[in-house]
Amino acid sequence: MSPKTIAVINFKGGVGKTTVSWCLGKVLSEETNWQTLMFDLDPQMSLTEAIGLNENTGHLDDKFGKWYERSIKYRQTIYDALEVFKKAGQNFKFPIGIETIYEIDEQLHFIPSVEELYWLELEGFEAKNVKDFIRRFVGKITNSSHLPNYDFILFDCSPSFNLLSYSVLSCCDLVLIPVNPDYFGSRGLSLLLNSLKRRIEPFPFPKIAVFMNKAKTYGGLLTNEVQFYMREDKRICAEAAVENNIQIKFLESTIRETVGIKRAINEGELPADIVTDFDELWRECAEYLK
């Protein structure tokens, strides 16, 4: 069975794309035991740093740091693959192995970002020679006999529509959009939902799921403000679905605002309340993906 591919996207910054990618990767691989692969496609490298950086020293931790150095030295990074793809096109040959995919643990694997992704446009990459890259790259992973059969592949995308997000959107199964409960969150959501299809065409358009992240609670219940923006965003989703003739679901599950979420990522362990939120979110996504 081919893996389900999920792109975590919002062109608004700071809504929680990286946090959601990481928590979901952790929950899918640990709680449900799915073999999971995460990509950091953001040149800002937040997910790469969350996974590889030692908070106390400010340097890459030893295990990840050594692996990352080798990956760069032997030209096995995602950027190197992209360069080969640009030159080779249909004859794309790039052996994907342990120097491209980092094992966080047995069930959770990771392809980090690299600095060069910042300058793709300046390095002569264009939409036409990048659009098929992620599909072909994932195809290689799926067909490889020495890599695990991944159940899920997650992409943490950058807050701008760059060549790699274009390439992911043209081939993923689900676009997962975290939004925050505020006016600009709803405004950004409307802009995003009403402009995406035009950019992706003529590719088949993936399913879209939108959900509230950083949902404030009071006494265990969502605040009135959060409930207001949930109704607002649900309406925006319904209208955009009709207007653009695409599938959009506003998820009822929310991810609560929690002080400890950042520390949890750095320490590599998720507290039970965060796991519960992501479990529920995932259940709703899985139902929608069927």
Q: Which residue's CB is nearer to ligand ATP, number 129 or number 266?
A: 266
**14 interface partner picked from ligand ATP, Mg ion, none, CB below 5 to 8 A per type:** ligand ATP
163 is a contact residue toward ligand ATP (CB under 6 A): no
Q: Which positions from 137 to 166 touch Mg ion by CB under 5 A, shown as an x/- string?
A: ------------------------------
Q: Which residues contact 162 (CB under 8 A, 6 or more apart)?
A: 43, 120, 121
Q: Which of 150, 171, 134 is nearest to 41 (CA)?
A: 134
| Least Å from the CB of residue 234 to ligand ATP | 19
CA dihedral 280, 113, 192, 17 (to 10 degrees): 30
Q: Which residue's CB is nearer to ligand ATP, number 45 or number 96?
A: 45
The residue within the footprint of ligand ATP, chosen from 35, 46, 100, 113 (CB under 6 A), is 46
Q: How far, in Å, CA of 74 to CA of 100, rounded?
A: 10
| Least Å from the CB of residue 172 to ligand ATP | 17
17 is a contact residue toward Mg ion (CB under 5 A): yes
| Least Å from the CB of residue 42 to Mg ion | 5
Q: How far, in Å, CA of 212 to CA of 284, rounded?
A: 13
CA 128 to chain centroid: 22
Q: Which positions from 237 to 266 touch ligand ATP by CB under 6 A, shown as an x/- string?
A: ------------------x-xx--xx----
CA 49 to chain centroid: 15
Q: Which of 273, 257, 278 is nearest to 214 (CA)?
A: 257
CA 167 to chain centroid: 13
Interface residues with ligand ATP (CB under 6 A) are: 13-19, 42, 44, 46, 159, 213-214, 255, 257-258, 261-262
